[in-house]
A and B are shown apart, each in its own frame.
Chain A
Amino acid sequence: MTGSVGVVTPQLIPFETPLDLERGGRLPRYDLMVETYGTLNTQKSNAVLVCHALSGDHHAAGYHGSEDTKPGWWDSYIGPGKAIDTDLFFVVSLNNLGGCSGSTGPLSMNPETGKAYGPDFPEVTVLDWVHSQARLADYFGIEQFAAIAGGSLGGMQALQWSITYPSRVKSAAIIAAAPRLTAQNIAFNEVARQAIMRDPNFFEGNYADHEVIPASGLGLARMVGHITYLSDVSMGKKFGRRLPRDDRDAEGVNFAVEQYLRYQGEQFSGRFDANTYILMTRALDYFDPTNTESMPLPNVLKSTKCQFLVLSFTTDWRFSPSRSEEIVDALIQAGKPVSYSRLESTHGHDAFLIPDATYERIFKAFMDRVYRDLGGDE
């Protein structure tokens, strides 16, 4: 039987040592907003780091209060008896640097100016996130993660971890990810950024000074992004060519899918920061472990020491199965232990978040093995 981790409380962890960033910036200090589930064993060997995707945060499982109806973003796969079993593992989930859910980001105060960073927040990369996550591991006294797991941009962090800190990660689950973005991927991100930047309320990122938010641009960015997370099949099933529900009569809405996208856009612009969105998409665009190391992927992966699980979904066209297979093939070329499955799903890129029996079965089989390999710590 599987269950929920229940009500969880995030904690804000301060880091007072400056962090030099890959693209030249520097953070004199920073905070990370973190949630943990399960119990760290005495050897501190059962920790699992969960990395979030573009618009995710530290709230990966459970609920924020007894009234809360919406669980964390990966609740289907984190909890007692679930794939990442919180009866076995100590799960660490954080909001990445540059985020807008409590960790230091554009909304935080710049100690040098005494006001919010806004557009002046330094550019951060996946590598910077990995370094900040390693310091988070130090904070908990975790020398080596039993596993690092994530979907999409979260999977890229797991991949980067295996390269940057080979001896600090025993296994990596890289789900619905890619070794780097294609021109088409970057193009979609650029449309999203342009939608934000061309909003008259953007003010070159200084919208806070004018006490406005570029809501329409951010909403539009989300609408474009959202289309790439779904599949033609799933949109067809969910909306088809149906007309909008008449209990919501937005102006000029002709089809149900339009109503849905507008709703998603509105919701998102109410909860997410525009500068963070720009920063996160840039981190995604620049991710390329072969560039950092200036050699082909199989060579880059030679230094890794962990077990890999790579999963993709058949209808994912944002990071299609062939992109995951690039990672798999590079690992094979490098002679590294890797398991891979291309899972049947109609849900497109979003499939990595959605409950599915076969996905659960494979992910859990891998994680249970990770636990067994820790060696009789029961």
Chain B
Amino acid sequence: MIAHSHQIPSWITTHSRVLDLGCGDGKLLAQLVKSHHIDALGLELDPVKIATCLDQGLSVIQQDLNRGLSNFNDQQFDTVIMTQTLQAIRRPDLALSEMLRVGREAIVTFPNFAYISNRIQLGLAGHMPVNPQLPNPWYDTPNIHLSTFRDFEELCQRLSIRILDRDTSNLSGKRTWLGTVWPNLFGEVAVYRLTKES
């Protein structure tokens, strides 16, 4: 289990409307309901995780993110969050555009494929990386669109998405000194706060 970046709560406004795409067991949303009294909605595919969300008093909808967000209105949310899921979506570019259609801001986290241990496994050992963040073998993995800080920022530019904040964290959700200085090399998890270029 990868902890959520400690940075995320500081980007959430009190009493705002927040949509979490792939909310899992609802841990992040439940925390934000408590700390920021947000109006929360989660999307999740696994009915057992949906039940866990309901246990915590959350509203959650079983929906495949690959189906898009066409059932949501423009700018229906203040913030749309997607943690550690972008790389598993069929079209990350469309997902990002949709997130910023239904939300004013988006918070996205994903595994940085250019992280040093990945580079070592691929560059030196000649293997696709397998590690705590990317635990699956290449032939059976949900992570079909791996990218790096650099790749992601290029995509944002193409989609006219403005990067409001960039952060990195390790798997415990904490920022590291090296990751802050050289994110593309030492950042394990990429953390972004985005909005649409006005």
Contacts and interface: CB of A to CB of B under 8 A. Distances in A.
A366 B51 CA distance: 8
Interface stretch (B57-65, B137-145, B169-177): B57-65
Nearest to A357: B48
B54 A339 contact: yes
A361 interface: yes
A362 B73 contact: no
A358 B61 contact: no
Interface in B16-71: 41, 47-48, 50-55, 57-63, 71
A355 interface: no
Tell me the dominant secondary structure on chain A's binding face: helix
A369 B48 contact: no
Interface string B91-126: 000000000000000000000000000000000000
Band of interface residues on A: 20 to 34
Contact of A362 (B47, B59, B63, B72): B47
B50 A338 contact: no
Considering residues A339, A343, A369, A372, which has the most beta carbons from chain B within 10 angstroms of its beta carbon?
A: A339
Interface stretch (A71-79, A234-242, A263-271, A327-335): A327-335
Contacts of A366: 54
B59 A338 contact: yes
Contact of A332 (B50, B52, B53, B71): B71
A48 B48 CA distance: 25
Contacts of A343: 47
Contacts of B57: 369, 372-373
B59 A337 contact: yes
Contacts of B54: 339, 362, 365-366, 369
A341 interface: yes
A342 interface: yes
Contacts of A344: 47
B75 interface: no
Contacts of B63: 340
Contact of A358 (B47, B59, B60, B72): B47
Contacts of B41: 337
Considering residues A335, A341, A361, which has the most beta carbons from chain B within 10 angstroms of its beta carbon?
A: A341
Contacts of A328: 61, 71
Considering residues B52, B61, B71, which has the most beta carbons from chain A within 10 angstroms of its beta carbon?
A: B61
B78 to A, nearest CB: 13
A329 B71 contact: yes
Contacts of B50: 339, 341, 362
B60 A339 contact: yes
A338 B73 CA distance: 15
Given A332-B72, A369-B55, A369-B57, A361 B48 contact: yes
Contacts of B58: 339
Interface in A271-319: 307
Considering residues A332, A361, A369, which has the most beta carbons from chain B within 10 angstroms of its beta carbon?
A: A332
Contacts of A373: 57
Nearest to B57: A369
Nearest to A333: B73
B76 interface: yes
B40 to A, nearest CB: 9
Nearest to A364: B51
A97 to B, nearest CB: 34
Contacts of A369: 54-55, 57
A214 B118 CA distance: 75
Contact of B61 (A333, A340, A362, A372): A340
Nearest to B17: A335
A137 B19 CA distance: 37
Given A332-B61, A338-B61, 11 more contacts: A333-B73, A337-B41, A337-B59, A339-B50, A341-B50, A358-B51, A361-B48, A362-B50, A365-B51, A365-B55, A369-B55
16 contacts: A328-B71, A332-B61, A332-B71, A332-B72, A335-B76, A337-B59, A339-B54, A339-B59, A341-B50, A341-B62, A342-B47, A342-B62, A362-B51, A366-B54, A369-B54, A369-B55
What 3 A-B pairs have minimum CB-CB distances, sorted nearest first? A365-B54, A329-B71, A340-B61
